[in-house]
Structure 1
Amino acid sequence: MVDLIDTIVYAGRLKDKSALMSSSSGGAFTALSNAFLKSGDAVVAAVYNYENHTVEFQMILDEKQRERAKGSKYMQSKPGDIYQEAYRWLMDNPKKELLFVGMGCQSDGFRKFSEIKGIRDRVHIVDIICHGSPSPKLWREYAESIQKKDGKITYLTFKDKRNGWKSPTAYVKVNGSERPLKDYVRVFYNRCALRPSCYECPYATTERKTDMTIGDFWHIEETIPNFYDSNGNSLFLIHTNRGEKLFEKIQSDLDYRLSNTIQCWQANLEAPTQKSEQREEFWNDYKKKGIDFVMKKYGSVPVKTKIKNKLLKIMGGIHRR
């Protein structure tokens, strides 16, 4: 029986420092997936496909597969027939359980599916705090444009933590060299390229019907300064009694601290991302002039802003002296 509870909030991160550094935030997904894979259960999550540059949901049955699912992905993922695949796996393995991890809309869809199919008591459903999903076609054409100029992409990350968790580095590896993705990341965050439904997302709240919500614990250095770690911090929002038991399963792998919805506040836990005033112009430019044009126009910092930032940096240095 799955019952909704008043949301419980935790800050947490992996004790394993190596695994923490290879995670986007505090390693919540690694801790959760470990709990299932070690006991022979299954995990469903999104994996990047380097052949066609799409993100696809897959059944994950071992840690090697799981490593491919780690990390933030700034493009829309395709569930495909994963709901049915997960159901068939559970029917073939009647003593096993399954962890499903996806965006709010995908995870709540699986929750409804699991209730209809009568498997809700055998699945644990986790969703991820979401800024919104850009067009998968946009990313695919962007990746293909890189490959046309530089060679095949063999590695992708949006949140490398070489400069710390608060200043992530996004890049792809091509022919052994790194190529930054600053232009694409700026387009992602300037809100031009998201799906229309993302601007009206009903899941941008702390109250959800999944078992647990995970994401970055932004502003933790201000709200829980004595628990902050520059290498990454995860947020756990527990919504059901099943989510409570799930968190108990992973506590031994974590350093964690009880928190609340005020300390963990962030924009996408209160409201959907707002539509950019430039959205129509962006898509008109894209249709007429293509991917390279919009990445240059909307993904680069204007010269005026660069000069302003440089002056602020200089002035800041003067004041510090």
Structure 2
Amino acid sequence: MPREPLSVVVTRRLPEQVEARLGELFDVRLRSDDAPMSREELVLAAKSADVLVPTITDTIDSTLLAQAGDRLKLIANYGAGVDHIDVATARQRGILVSNTPGVLTDDTADMTMALLLAVIRRIPEGLAVMQTGEWSGWAPTAFLGGRVGGRRLGILGMGRIGQAVARRAAAFGMQVHYHNRKRLRPETEEALGATYWESLDQMVSRMDVISINCPSTPSTFHLLNARRLKLLKPSAVLVNTSRGEVIDEAALTRMLRAGEIAGAGLDVYEHGSEGNPALRELPNVVLLPHMGSATVEGRVEMGEKVIINIKTFEDGHRPPDLVVPSML
């Protein structure tokens, strides 16, 4: 007898072609609207599915996993980051976790450069004047930003995305520096033209721009805390397209308001979508609604990885993007 297809529950709306392919391959239950599942809905989904496909907006903690029952065998996360999933508890309960790494590298690096340019060249201020019709004509001293070329860029986290940022920054004439858990191989450093700093404190204090490109882990929580933020030059700019928890957002807000940091470009926030309201009032801050991965191509490729992970698991093999606690 043919084997019954896996029961798959998807917690959020995905690109149409991804949902169509999931429907062809599996017994899938899709979301009818794009609102996040409530806690109760998420528990019911975990109880009724062989495979759960959550996103960053779903908290899959030990309490939820304890209520999942015995049916759930794979959490095929739609996204690269898994800090919203208790991977260790899942594995203890015999539940595998997979993710979608690698497909968003270029998209996120592009957004990093977009935020960097937007802050340094004061693009949102110029846009606002044009949209309100208040522009009175060109003036020699109006909207003076800074030159990007020649600035020192310090990249915190030199994985795939960090290296992609380094390549783009070099094309803009920036000097590339980095801090990472492990130093890159000499040939990689040479290819990127990147200078390694073993001391994060020393790197932070000497850079014109800091780009956050490291994952959220217990060791990176508030890595840029109030003390370390104080080391930044008053002319420095901070860009974060990684995870909001890496920065002490309250301390950053205070320093931006006081003029102790020149500006910031943020796509992620410490408390999810609820960035500090005081940040919205500052002209030297550019805020985006977590758009780093928001390209059609990237979101479709994420879905394709989810499908491959589920199909490989269904065929009795290890999902290619399996996440294990030792990786975190």
Could you say which structure has the higher helix fraction? Answer: 1
TM-score of the pair, normalised by structure 1:
0.27
TM-score of the pair, normalised by structure 2:
0.26
